[in-house]
Amino acid sequence: MFGSVAIDFVAADETVPFLLKNNDHGGDASVQGQISLLDLAKSTTPPCSLNPLLFNGHLHTAYPALRKTEDVEIHYKRRVWESDNTAYPGQFAVDFVVDSPEPPLERDRSLPPRTHNFTEQEFADLQASDDSSPMLVVLHGLSGGSHEQYLRHALRPLVYGEGGWQACVINARGCSWSKVTTPWLFNARATWDIRQVVKWLRKSWPKRRLYAVGYSLGANILCNYLGEEGENCKIEAAVLVCNPWNLDVANSLLRTTWMGDNIYLARMGQWMKKLFERYGSALICHKSNTI
């Protein structure tokens, strides 16, 4: 088919089994018993048919910058957390998906669009719920945040309309207009904030099943976290989207091409410098005080 893209699945010969729903729960009568993770992935992953005008990876990557893409409305309420990590204290912001506020709230200029801080009462009410909705924890990419279009696009069908999911986005320290109070930002293996949030979610909503999705650098952090948790992981299942996996290899290969060095690494360097310009004082002043 025009624009049709091949999908390869790579997995071990045997992957973990899942119990299939029986017929009483709306499953297909012909499928009963167990299904392996690989077969599940093959049967649930939709066919991939992409815009044929975007004939290479650069065009797919740059498309949101080249052409105005659909606005995806997701509303958040933010809660700033104090880290419980004694080695790397500090604060970080978690944005919970909420319904569109009625009546609409005035834009809070200190936060990304469609984002407002929880009042204490609202946050207490949120926590008081005893529901069993599935809940998604989301980690964004380098220097991004809950406002990223790629992230909202995937959230919308889950959280609004008949979606039925709850969701929150953990903003990497210093990202998404969150304040930095310590001499460090995030890094690619900084798993302490997601660990703290998942513990809190598990305790606050014992009936909710927790899932996670990470994008790009957020996928790298999530993968590190899931590996560190091992057998004790409180997440049911996770999706890693465009994980860089091997950062040294990815970086070195980017440096070998003109586009990689002058477009991608330069663009990502610019994003980070913006963060530094915003938070340099916290990184530097605090550091000099502690030396």
Least Å distance between CB 104 and another protein? 26
Measured from the CB of residue 59, what is the shortest distance to another protein in angstroms? 7
Task: Please report how close the Cβ of residue 22 comes to another protein at its closest, in angstroms.
Answer: 11
Q: How far apart are alpha carbons 279 and 172 in whole angstroms? A: 13
Cβ proximity to another protein: between 63 and 203 the closer is 63
Q: What is the dihedral of CA 198, 201, 205, 210, to 10 degrees?
A: -40
Q: Kindly state the smallest distance separating residue 129's Cβ from another protein, in Å.
A: 20
C-beta separation of 139 from 146 below 8 A: no
Report the nearest approach of another protein to the CB of residue 25 (Å): 9
Q: Which is nearer to another protein, 125 or 236 (CB)?
A: 236
Closer to another protein by CB, 101 or 280: give it: 280
CA distance linking residue 94 with residue 113, whole number of Å:
15
Q: Which residues contact 121 (CB under 8 A, 6 or more apart)?
A: none
CA dist 194 and 197 (Å) reads: 5
Q: Which is nearer to another protein, 124 or 285 (CB)?
A: 285
Q: How far is CA 31 from CA 18, 36, 130, 243, in A?
A: 12, 12, 33, 32
C-alpha dihedral sign at 101, 107, 112, 117 = negative
Q: Which of 156, 170, 243 is nearest to 210 (CA)?
A: 170
Q: How far is the CB of 96 from another protein (least distance, A)?
A: 18
Residue 36: name the closest of 65, 56, 13 by CA. 13
Cα(56)–Cα(174) distance, integer angstroms:
33
CA angle centred on 254, ends 249 and 258, rounded to 5°: 155
117 versus 239: smaller Cβ distance to another protein:
239
Closer Cβ to another protein, 98 or 210, answer by number: 210
Closest to another protein by CB, 123 or 264: 264
Q: How far is the CB of 4 from another protein (least distance, A)?
A: 10
